[in-house]
């Protein structure tokens, strides 16, 4: 069967629907939430688009009250094979070459848009892989179910709600990461730090920045009572940071711009929030400012807390500050930690409790998601890896583990499988996110064979 030729014949249709879904600004908006659109109307619009497309193409579809939805194909009496995708995207930020929801295709075969790689492009690749199989009438022994979650970038409430009401797949994969294959994901802890006391005489009125736990804080703004223009400009220049300084009535506004990155690799970003705290620590008595500067500025691995650890298989524990809002009555600094399966979490919790109390910092909220691990010797890993090798002849790169979290961890036996190629740069959560269309169409080929392998042809 010449799947490549079939894909080429459908190319215009595929690209049109890929652009349509990326043009929907499906960023979480809880101010716009309703009972049937719990994450905002644009996220619901994106889910409706995908399910409507699937229904139009002849799939059986089910939606879960705006939280999630699925389509199915294959033998309902066989194993349930899940392909778990998500339709929500992170906020766009500024400084884009093209409008972030324009889905602009350039002459060098790139499609620019928020969500193009995370996760709408991979979602559409998996969708068309299954559609081609269905259109050809290929019979499968197992049932393939593509599941669309709607809150992956924030709290996983969509997939959690779905899995409470629908059967869990027996095994599966998630097209929301890298090839060749990811068989292990670090655990994730998050914490909201705050203050119980505020000094009205302090120099700092506020520090505000960041929107998400899982994005390195790119922009930070401070209001202070004293003119520190010379000192601030020197700090910004010494640290090679973009800055802005102005007087507003009786106050002074300071702005720093860093570099956004995914929280699983905070070292690849520049955190404007910790820089702002590090600058202001010399002029402020605010305990949260000092705590951030002392323990987290330029320290992505908890070395300053004596809690660093580097696992031989899954790598080091990492820490990102995604939100730094320090203001009277409502201070909040968020920690997003990714930890390997062998990390001593109990020791971490003990030390963090001691250090926060010692510095009069309070922990207002915390979450934990345990590490996810499927043995690299498992048949699921071996089968999918062989599919990857068939289409790439890439024997250099092997299955690996990551610090990020995907929907794979919601199932006992699931892995992340593409679609970023090993030689491509990581663009998820960054400005100018784009999808290499050559990779996109190759991924469709890979997913066709992966679905056939897991679905098992019924000859």
* Catalytic residue selected from 88, 176, 185, 265: 88
Catalytic annotation present for 313:
no
> What is the distance between the alpha carbons of residues 216 and 267, in angstroms, rounded to a whole number?
9
Is the previous residue joined to 5 through a cis bond, with omega within 30 degrees of 0?
no
Q: Residue 215 has what DSSP assignment?
A: B
Nearest to 53 by CA among 13, 12, 83, 95: 13
Beta-ladder partners of 69:
63, 148
* Catalytic residue selected from 118, 119, 151, 152: 152
Among left, alpha and beta (phi > 0; psi -120 to 50; other), residue 156 is left
Catalytic annotation present for 250:
no
Sort strands 361-369 and 187-195 into parallel, antiparallel or unpaired.
antiparallel
Q: Within a 10 A sphere around the Cβ of 224, how many other Cβ atoms?
A: 20
Q: Is 63 exposed, middle or buried (0-12, 13-18, 19+ CB in 10 A)?
A: middle
**24 with 101: CB under 8 angstroms?**
yes
Where b means 16+ CB within 10 Å and e means fewer, 109-121 reads ebbbbbbbbbbbb
Sort strands 251-257 and 242-248 into parallel, antiparallel or unpaired.
antiparallel
Distance in Å from the first CA to the final CA of the chain: 14
Three-state DSSP state, 195? strand
Close Cβ partners of 449 (under 8 Å, ≥ 6 residues apart): 387, 390, 391
Three-state DSSP state, 261? coil
**453 with 383: CB under 8 angstroms?**
yes
Helices of type H across 260-303 = 272-280, 287-296
Q: Which residues are catalytic?
A: 88, 152
């Amino acid at each position: 069967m010449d799947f490549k030729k079939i894909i080429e014949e459908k190319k215009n249709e595929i690209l049109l629907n890929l652009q349509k879904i990326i043009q929907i600004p499906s960023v979480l908006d809880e101010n716009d939430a309703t009972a049937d659109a719990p994450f905002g109307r644009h996220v619901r619009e994106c889910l409706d688009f995908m399910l409507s497309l699937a229904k139009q193409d002849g799939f059986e579809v089910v939606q879960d009250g705006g939280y999630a939805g699925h389509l199915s194909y294959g033998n309902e009496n066989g194993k349930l094979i899940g392909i778990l995708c998500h339709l929500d995207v992170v906020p766009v930020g500024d400084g884009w070459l093209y409008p972030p929801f324009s889905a602009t295709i350039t002459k060098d075969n790139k499609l620019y848009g928020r969500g193009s790689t995370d996760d709408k492009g991979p979602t559409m690749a998996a969708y068309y892989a299954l559609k081609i199989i269905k259109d050809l009438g290929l019979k499968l022994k197992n049932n393939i179910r593509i599941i669309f979650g709607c809150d992956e970038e924030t709290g996983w409430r969509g997939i959690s709600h779905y899995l409470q009401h629908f059967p869990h797949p027996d095994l599966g994969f998630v097209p929301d990461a890298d090839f060749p294959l990811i068989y292990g994901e670090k655990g994730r802890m998050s914490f909201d730090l705050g203050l119980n006391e505020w000094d009205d005489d302090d120099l700092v009125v506020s520090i505000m920045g960041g929107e998400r736990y899982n994005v390195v804080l790119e922009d930070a703004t401070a209001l202070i009572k004293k003119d520190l223009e010379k000192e601030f400009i020197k700090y910004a220049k010494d640290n090679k940071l973009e800055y802005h300084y102005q007087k507003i009535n009786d106050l002074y506004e300071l702005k720093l711009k860093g570099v956004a990155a995914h929280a699983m690799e905070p070292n690849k970003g520049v955190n404007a929030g910790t820089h702002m705290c590090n600058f202001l620590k010399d002029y402020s008595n605010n305990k949260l400012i000092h705590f951030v500067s002392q323990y987290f500025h330029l320290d992505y691995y908890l070395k300053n807390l004596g809690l660093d650890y580097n696992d031989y298989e899954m790598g080091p524990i990492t820490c990102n500050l995604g939100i730094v809002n320090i203001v009277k009555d409502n201070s909040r600094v968020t920690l997003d930690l990714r930890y390997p399966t062998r990390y001593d979490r109990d020791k971490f919790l003990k030390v963090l409790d001691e250090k926060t109390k010692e510095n009069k910092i309070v922990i207002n909220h915390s979450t934990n998601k345990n590490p996810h691990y499927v043995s690299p010797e498992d048949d699921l890993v071996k089968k999918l890896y062989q599919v990857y090798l068939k289409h790439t002849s890439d024997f250099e790169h092997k299955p690996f583990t990551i610090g990020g979290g995907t929907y794979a961890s919601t199932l006992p036996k699931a892995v992340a499988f593409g679609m970023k190629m090993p030689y491509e740069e990581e663009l998820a959560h960054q400005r100018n996110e784009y999808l290499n269309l050559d990779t996109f169409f190759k991924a469709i080929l890979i997913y066709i064979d992966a679905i056939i392998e897991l679905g098992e042809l019924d000859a």
